Structures are given as structure tokens and as C-alpha cells.
Amino acid sequence: MAVFLSKRLLRFALFVSVALLTLVALRNHSSTQDYVAEYLPASFDFSLSGFTGGGNSPQQLDAAGKAAEQQREAAEAAAEAGVAPESDIVDAGAKALQDAASAEGTLDLSKDVMDFIKPSFTRTDGGRPKACFVTLVRNNELHDMVNSIRKVQKRFNEEFRYDWIFLNDVEFTQEFKDKIHEEIPNSVTKFGVIPHEHWSYPDYIDQTKAAQTREKMANIIYGASESYRHMCRFQSGFFWRHPLLDDYDWYWRVEPSINLYCDIKYDVFKWMQDNEKVYGFTISIHEYLSTIPTLWDTSMEFFKENPEYVAKDNLMKFISGDNGEHYNLCHFWSNFEIANLNLWRSPAYKAYFDALDHAGGFFYERWGDAPVHSIAASIILPKDKIHYFSDIGYHHPPYDNCPLDDRVWTENHCDCDQKNDFTFKGYSCGKEYYDAQGLKRPVNWEEYSH
């Protein structure tokens, strides 16, 4: 797509480019290394939800899921009637910076995202992937975290012994660290504090408007929570930038209060690496429309302006039934992810996140990291790089992924109830995923769809 700039905008773009280069040079100078930005005090409201939304019951979450299904049906009806949702214009400053970079030619943003991922498919350390578990957790979630660790260790990591990384927006207590070391004696464990700039308001966000949004959304799940929004923004655009993850190519996201129902007898990281997969999930679901009214239009605006980031043979059919005109609200539930960190490190995803961040929807609405990750992965990756782990029995309140293949269920000593498998139930997106990938549904799938 050709981009035409007026002389005035071109002069502005060049000016911004020079200013950016100057700032980079100054920042690298020793006298400016310890610059300090203005942020909010490090105190957040955890009364409704924190990193994991632990304050809500399975019944509340299930009710929210049903509401999401109702909103999905309403959205489909609106799509059939030709009614498009309202959208805000992407922040002009972000677009100017992007245009400036393109005009100046200082960044190679046209490179295919897979070019940044393929080097990590090459095994250089005896075939063992550079992989870790990564967990965002609070000190007061220690008990629930220990339960998750015990499940993961028993079902998988006692054999494969991958590193664990724990992140928090405050320092971990010694009690927390000691207990974690006790539970994971044979793996490397690392504890990190999130940089303040990754868990606070950027200077282009109107905090008064953000506070008003929280008041208006008080009756929506997590709608009144400030900390939940910081968490979603962090998981969307910053967890993979933490220095503790610099040495890794792969991660498995683990949250408190999860369960693994089945033994995992193979190295999932090595399987992803050897089969050149990029993003793996277990549960897919419809999003709550009221939390993301402008996310889709903002995303489509970005990709229309940057068509070079759109992968050939992508998974658009999973997230849209009309080739991108409307969002069907489907996303991968990101509390479980086994994925390649270089997907998020790529210029394509960085530019996408930057556009979203400047649009303000993490604070002016309640954009979640799950739809953000899912929209990006479905568009910038070829669809054969995305994998559904149907063989991994997984629980995050209130939903289950339970293998429907009886042989897999038996051989892996699963203890989940197949009738509770969420994959083909009404407000799951399992059917959309199978159809978009051209996969044949299990012979008995209809038995588990109600």
C-alpha cells in the first residue's frame, strides 16, 4: 500500500526521526543513563483482581462466558445487518512516528516475522531448546502457586527440568523464594521485579479518562480494576522484554490455581522446536465484547497500513467469519501458552503493540492480552505455525481441556472428566479453530458439545 505524505507531514516526520536518533544517542551516553521518567506511585488496587483475577469464583467466570456468547451472537447479527462497531482513530502521534521511521528508512520493518523466529529452530545445545516456565505472581498467591508448581513438576518437569522464572511488580519475600526453591529443587529458579515503566501509565495516557472508564465499566468483569489493566498491558507488550527472559527462545506460561490432568511424556519445547511451531494453546473462547469495543477496528487499521506484516495463508478465518470485516470474538486463552518468544520480539509484533498502546484501549477500555496475542498470531503467522495441544489435560477455573481420544486419556493417566472438556461447547472457539485449520473434528465431538 502506497503512503502519500504532504510536504508538511514529511517535514514533521523527518524532524521526529532526527529527534528520536538524538534521544537514542543521549540515552547511550554515560551522563544520561540514569534518566528518570514520571510514573504513578507503586500502589495498585488488588481488591477486585490482580495478576490472575483470583478474586472471582468459577460461577462468576462461567456467567461472564455465557454473557460473552450472547454478545458474540449479537455481534454476528450486527455483522449480518451491515452494522459496524464504533471505533476510535489510532493515536496520530504513534502513526506519525511509524510513518517517520518508514520515510527515513532507519528500521527494517518489512522482514517477515518468521525470519526472526527460524534461527531458534536450529538446535545448538545438544538439541535442548532454550526454554523456561514464566509466571506472573504476587507474594500472597504463594499457596495457589505451589499447587500449580506441584502439578507441572509431577506431570512434566521432574523429568525435563526446565528453568522457572517468577515475576512480580514488587520484590518477592524470602518466604516466597524459600518455598519455591523447596518445591523445585532440581531446576534453576529466577525471581525478577517488573520495571516500573512496564507497570504504570505511559505519559500519553489521560489518567482522568482512564479512571472514568473504570467507573463506567464497574459492572463488567474486571472492568473497575486498575491492576488488571496493568497486568494485561504487561502481558501484551512487556513480559518478553524482561532481562531474565533474554537467554530463552521458548516459554510456557503458568499461573496460580491451574491443574495438569495428564502426564506429558514428551518434551513439548523440543516438539515445538523440531516441528517448527510458534504458538501453542489448550483452550479457546469468545471474548467479552464490552471490554474491547474498538480493538478490532484499531487492529485492522494497523494491518491495512502495514500489509507487509500479514502472513500468507494465515489464520484469519479463526478470528473473523467475513475476511476481517468483523471480529467473531475468538481468542486463545492466554493463561496457558507454549510459544516462541521471538514472535513477540519481532518488529511486526512490536509495531502492532505500539499502535495499540498509543490508542489507549488497555486503559480507556479493558483490552486483554489474550485477544491481543490471538489477533496478532492469527494474522502475522502462517496458520501451520499455530498448534492446539489436544493431548494436554489442563484446567484454569472454570474450564477444562481434557483429551477426547480414549487412548491418549488412558496412556497418559489422565484424571479429568471428558464430559467437562470445553473444546466444542457453545462459547468455546474450538469449532472455529478446527474449521479454520481444515482439521477433522474428533468422531465423538458432538457428545461433548453440550
Active site residues: 337
Q: Burial, 449: exposed, middle or buried (Cβ in 10 Å; 0-12, 13-18, 19+)?
A: middle
Count of CA atoms in the C-beta half-sphere (13 A) of 324: 16
d(CA 166, CA 190): 6
d(CA 294, CA 203): 21
Taking CA atoms, 354 is separated from 97, 268, 311, in Å, by: 10, 31, 19
Supply φ then ψ for residue 133, to 5 degrees. Answer: -90, 145
CA-closest candidate to residue 165, choices 131, 216, 196, 199: 131
Classify residue 272 by burial, with Cβ atoms within 10 Å: 0-12, 13-18, 19+.
buried
The cell numbers describing 154, all together, are 509431577
- C-alpha distances (whole Å) from 435 to each of 304, 324, 398, 402, 439 are 25, 16, 25, 20, 6
DSSP strand pairing (131-136 vs 386-388): unpaired
Helix, strand or coil for residue 445? helix
Residues 6 or more apart whose Cβ sits within 8 Å of residue 329: 68, 71, 72, 75, 286, 287, 289, 371
d(C-alpha 375, C-alpha 353), whole Å: 11
Q: Which residues face 250 on adjacent strands?
A: 131, 340
Query: Comparing C-alpha atoms, which of 327, 332, 304 is closest to residue 316?
Result: 327
- Rg over alpha carbons for the chain, rounded to the nearest Å, is 22
For the residues of 69-100, what is the DSSP string, one character each?
HHHHHHHHHHHHTTPPPP-PPPPHHHHHHHHH
HEC-encoded secondary structure of 232-292: HHHHHHCHHHCHHHCCCCEEEECCCCCEECCCCCCCHHHHHHHCCCCEEECCEEECCHHHC
Going from the C-alpha of 431 to that of each of 2, 151, 324, 354, 427, the distances in angstroms are 37, 29, 18, 32, 10
